[in-house]
Amino acid sequence: MTAESESNRIRRHVVYYGRVQGVCFRAMTHDLSRGCRVAGYVRNLRDGTVELEAEGEPAEVERFLASVERTFEHNIRDADVTDIASTGDEQDFRIRY
26: annotated active-site residue: yes
The kind and range of the H/E element at 20 are none
Out of 19, 37, 43, 44, which one is annotated catalytic? 44
Q: Residues, the chain, total?
A: 97
The tens digit of pLDDT for each residue in 9-61 reads: 999 999 999 999 999 999 999 999 999 999 999 999 999 999 999 999 999 99
Which pTM value belongs to this model? 0.92
Bridge-based pairing of strands 76-84 and 39-44 is unpaired
> pLDDT band for position 70 (50/70/90)?
very high
In angstroms, the CA 49 to CA 60 distance is: 24
Cβ 85 vs Cβ 36: under 8 Å: no
- What is the torsion angle, in degrees rounded to the nearest 10, for the CA atoms of residue 38, residue 71, residue 25 and residue 40? 10
44: annotated active-site residue: yes
